[in-house]
A = this chain, B = another copy of it.
């Protein structure tokens, strides 16, 4: 679907921006920022495909991915001030990006014939590992392990999407419901300051 492809590109773009902005905070140079943006955007899908041996990894054949990512660098530099104000818009697109990466990751793994539990796991990998690599390259304990109900939203979304698909409900509808659910969970979690219980 062209609409999904456009959303996937927007998700890639927004993920790249999140990497570039963290790199800037960490006082990296332009090159470092470009690299961090790149791995944030493609790290999840690449990890999924490498673990499954599902070659080729998508961005080495579809050059729109590298293109969109490299455009994120001048975009972030030019609109730096606006990005701070656009906090909410970025949050929405980031969450849609997560939802998309979760679902498209799951679908790919199901098509490859794996068990649904592996598909759900790999959907989460697709959505979250890019951010984990970003944080490690910036020498931080990954945010996802500490603060937000981020991965939980992916998990809830992945389970919902799987159950809806199994129920025979149309994929487009399932997709919309899943994205709305993930967005809703994240918004409620932030508003209510919800967090997963600590181990200690």
Which A residues have a C-beta under 8 Å from some C-beta of B?
A: 20, 23-33, 35-36, 46, 50-53, 55-57, 60, 63, 66, 77, 114-115, 117-118, 121, 132, 136-142, 144-146, 151-152, 195-200
Do the beta carbons of A152 and B31 come within 8 Å of each other?
yes
Q: A31-B145, A32-B144, A66-B117 are in contact. List 15 more A-B contacts (CB 8 A).
A: A28-B141, A28-B145, A29-B198, A30-B197, A31-B144, A31-B151, A32-B145, A32-B146, A50-B50, A52-B57, A53-B57, A60-B118, A66-B118, A66-B121, A139-B139
Given contacts A29-B146, A195-B29, A199-B24, contact A140 B137 (CB under 8 A): no
Query: How many Å lie between the Cα of A88 and that of B141 in the bound state?
Result: 30
Given contacts A23-B145, A60-B114, A138-B141, contact A196 B29 (CB under 8 A): yes
Do the beta carbons of B139 and A63 come within 8 Å of each other?
no
Do the beta carbons of B196 and A30 come within 8 Å of each other?
yes
Question: Whole-angstrom distance from the CB of A53 to the nearest CB of chain B?
Answer: 3
- Collect the chain B residues with CB atoms within 8 Å of residue A24's CB: 199-200
Question: Whole-angstrom distance from the CB of A197 to the nearest CB of chain B?
Answer: 6
Query: How many Å lie between the Cα of A144 and that of B117 in the bound state?
Result: 32
